[in-house]
Structure 1
């Protein structure tokens, strides 16, 4: 039996995304239904982790302190809906930094496993981009593409991954799960 763990990408899954990066706490705005979905998952006994590329840090668009403030806002809003994040893993590196944590590599997911002491195998990885899904598949997870954020664009481009569940948004996925 797989753990009741779900791993979520952040931008485009939990909150609105921007091609210009989410750079301030004010720009961090939850997608409709996402906080309710996180509350519902928590109430159903799921552990919830976030795996997010945040290259805006290495690019100098925002600081670690600003990222932490965005995550504090996310945690507070989830809490207002009975939701809880068990761990937030982020990659602060740029695409050319040669790290092992930037998705599509599974480093962030391994951080989640190590921190929570759980296996992600057969758990859901929810993302709006191919790199999110590839990171999940590399770690033995079941990929879920949401059409929010860059999800529609990802679908239009097409991809080779098999057995990808496609949902309108996080809320629809959670309603199907619990």
Structure 2
């Protein structure tokens, strides 16, 4: 069995609700948070896979087409790859909030589907996110969960940014 880290996208990898971007609806609106590539590179050295699992209700709400979302993700993966930071696959839920689908976090289907596809053991894997829905999805899937932000009582750890989260994860794994 393999081990993986599942990352939320908005607020973990890229800016959202900042002065320069409200939502990411086009590739040029994707601005990486500081030291994200470095953090992902460190994960790549220890984990078999790094995945992104993200709710993208903007598709279901009509703010962008699914093809546009795929272009954003292709851009994100390519830009990170230029810095030797490898994302194996991006899974997303395109459905509207409150649509009742099985894939939208806090449900764990995206994580579980990737785990099945890549033979990942969830008990030795991690979910990193900046909302309670990310933490709940990770817990439902059976991963440890790391919260980026101020506090989440359901998380195994709470840290201010992805690089700090990676340091905690790497200490926890060893």
Q: TM-score, normalised by structure 2?
A: 0.87
- Deviation, 1:173, is 2.0
Equivalent in the alignment of 1:101: 103
> Of residues 149, 161, 166 in structure 2, which corresponds to 1:169?
161
What are the within-5 Å matches in structure 2 for residues 12-161 of structure 1? Answer: 12-18=11-17, 20-147=22-149, 152=150, 155=151, 159-161=152-154
Quote how far apart the aligned CAs of 1:101 are: 0.4
CA distance in 2: counterparts of 1:138 and 1:106, whole angstroms: 6
For residue 68 of structure 1, report the CA deviation from its aligned partner: 1.1
Could you tell me how far apart the structure 2 residues matched to 1:79 and 1:52 are? Answer: 19
Distance (whole Å) between structure 2 residues aligned to residue 91 and residue 122 of structure 1? 24
DSSP-derived class of the 1:56 partner = helix
Q: Give unpaired runs (5+ residues) of structure 1.
A: none
State whether residues 36 and 78 of structure 1, in contact with CA within 8 Å, keep that contact through their aligned partners in structure 2: no
Task: Report how far residue 77 of structure 1 moved.
Answer: 1.7
Offset of residue 6 of structure 1: 0.5
- Stretches of structure 2 lacking an aligned partner (at least 5 in a row): none
Q: What is the TM-score with the length of structure 1 in the denominator?
A: 0.86
- Kindly indicate whether the alpha-carbon contact (under 8 Å) linking 1:9 and 1:51 is maintained by their aligned counterparts in 2: yes
Match of 2:7 in 1: 8
8 Å Cα contact 1:125-1:142 kept in structure 2: yes
Structure with the higher helix share, 1 or 2: 2
Shift of 1:140: 0.8
**For residues 79-99 of structure 1, what are the alpha-carbon distances to aligned partners after superposition, in whole Å with 9 as ceiling and x for unaligned?**
122121112110000123221
Q: Is the 8 A contact 1:146 1:170 kept in 2?
A: yes
CA distance in 1, matches of 2:132, 2:41: 26
Query: Which secondary structure state, in structure 2, belongs to the residue aligned with residue 121 of structure 1?
Result: helix
